[in-house]
Amino acid sequence: MTAAESDIFSVYTYKIRDSYEKGQGMKETTTKERAQVQKASEFQIPRVTPDMRMRRLRSKAPLRSMVRETHLRPEQFIYPFFLVEGQGIKTPISSMPGIHQQSIDEMLREAEEVVKLGLGSVLLFGIPKDKDSQATGAWHEEGIVQKATRELKKNFPDLLVVADTCLCEYMDHGHCGIVHNGNILNDPSLEIIARTAVSQAAAGADIIAPSDMMDGRIAAIRQALDANGFENIPIMAYSAKYASGLYGPFREAAESTPQFGDRSSYQMDPANGREALREIELDIAEGADIVMVKPALPYLDIISQARQMTKLPIAAYNVSGEYSMVKAAAANGWIDEKRVVLELLTGITRAGADIIITYHAKDVASWLKN
């Protein structure tokens, strides 16, 4: 006990004892207070001196900084964009405060901000004008992501463009693959997914990030990229992508809600951990350069086990629902946004993620600057 602490303790003890001894105590003190008096005055409490004092290294800010194990860096974050056709469009997404659907001209303005903040990369999602059953907008040369990629690379050559490679936003039924008789077909989907990846690389994408969860997609994409002269373009595989309730706000943003059923015949069951490691192993065997766990916060155990298992870089997707929960609580004044966001992202990093896709990226980069 420090001097200050023992002072407080004895003042409190005397106050109670005083009133107790004056005979007022019987009426006025509670049972709990009397028990405390008894504890302080009658019991024999041995004094303990700890052998090891962990608090030594916590005693001042410079010491805490010196021994800090995990650090956040702006370059580790990927910031997502939701792109629509047109000009001068910037539509707020109501469930994701601060995030917009925007046209390419508006995106270029925000990209400048992203670069100034020291962030190194953006992730592109496209919302096409027309959806169909072959996801034409996903792989077309004039698709929204292809156009946005060309503009970004022209204006900001050093900003990494990560292309989300999936079909759901471009399909009229909203599923991540070809649908036949209500089934989501695996092998026929691979061809369109690979075609999409090649068109994104041809537009200048620096990283291909398939999020569809079809079997064999990493091999299919790797072969297609290599066959078209893109052998140097890395694949960031959404390897362990769970069928999560936390994608709700994203589906508003990307207009990609499945029109029937759900995604549990291809995305993973939240209850399964070993299966996630199999998915990761398979993607590595098929040629993934970076593996991803998604969402991040309920799956820190998977990130941590993946960290033990592979030497590849690991990405985690701090998804829309994780973002919205924090924003909603902060808007209500229930939590301190900056403090909580930094804590959550530090936790994801400590668990083993090298890279984090997050809608908080701009805020974090600006906090890290100051």
- Cβ atoms of 96 and 327 within 8 Å: the answer is yes
- The candidate with the shortest Cα–Cα distance to 300, out of 359, 355, 246, 353, is 353
22 is catalytic: no
Q: Quick one: which segment of 36-44, 147-155, 244-252, 280-288 binds ligand PBG (CB under 6 A)?
A: 244-252
Residue 247 in contact with ligand PBG, rule: CB under 6 A:
yes
> Using CB under 6 A, which residues numbered 305 to 344 contact ligand PBG?
319-320
Residue 299 in contact with ligand PBG, rule: CB under 6 A:
no
Q: Quick one: which segment of 38-46, 108-116, 249-257, 347-355 binds ligand PBG (CB under 6 A)?
A: 249-257
Which of 131, 294, 327, 362 is catalytic? The answer is 294
Give the residue with the Cβ less far from Zn ion, 149 or 165. Answer: 165
Give the residue with the Cβ less far from ligand PBG, 243 or 300. Answer: 243
Helix segments in the chain, DSSP class H? 3-21, 25-28, 31-42, 61-66, 104-116, 136-139, 144-155, 187-203, 217-227, 248-254, 274-286, 300-309, 320-331, 337-351, 361-369
Token code pair at residue 17: 């004892």
Residue span 161-200 as binding mask against Zn ion, x where in contact by CB under 5 A, dash where not: -----x-x-------x------------------------
Residue span 207-226 as binding mask against ligand PBG, x where in contact by CB under 6 A, dash where not: ----x---------------
Q: Is 87 helix (H, G, I), strand (E, B) or coil?
A: coil
- The candidate with the shortest Cα–Cα distance to 144, out of 73, 202, 84, 220, is 84
> Using CB under 6 A, which residues numbered 141 to 200 contact ligand PBG?
164, 166, 168, 176
Which of 15, 27, 154, 241 is catalytic? The answer is 241
Q: Quick one: which segment of 43-51, 67-75, 247-255, 333-341 binds ligand PBG (CB under 6 A)?
A: 247-255
How many angstroms separate the Cα of 149 from the Cα of each of 48, 93, 300, 358? 65, 22, 32, 19
Neighbouring-strand partners of residue 102: 83, 90
241 is catalytic: yes
Token code pair at residue 89: 């469009």
Give the residue with the Cβ less far from ligand PBG, 230 or 247. Answer: 247
Q: Residues for the chain: how many in total?
A: 370
Give the residue with the Cβ less far from ligand PBG, 76 or 256. Answer: 256
Binding-site partner at residue 247 among ligand PBG, Zn ion, none, CB < 5 to 8 Å by type: ligand PBG
Pairing, β 100-102 against β 90-92: antiparallel
Element (H, E) at 316: strand 314-318
Binding-site partner at residue 250 among ligand PBG, Zn ion, none, CB < 5 to 8 Å by type: ligand PBG
156 contact partners, CB below 8 Å, separation of at least 6: 111, 112, 115
Interface residues with Zn ion (CB under 5 A) are: 166, 168, 176
Give catalytic residue positions. 241, 294
Interface residues with ligand PBG (CB under 6 A) are: 164, 166, 168, 176, 211, 247, 250-251, 256, 263, 319-320
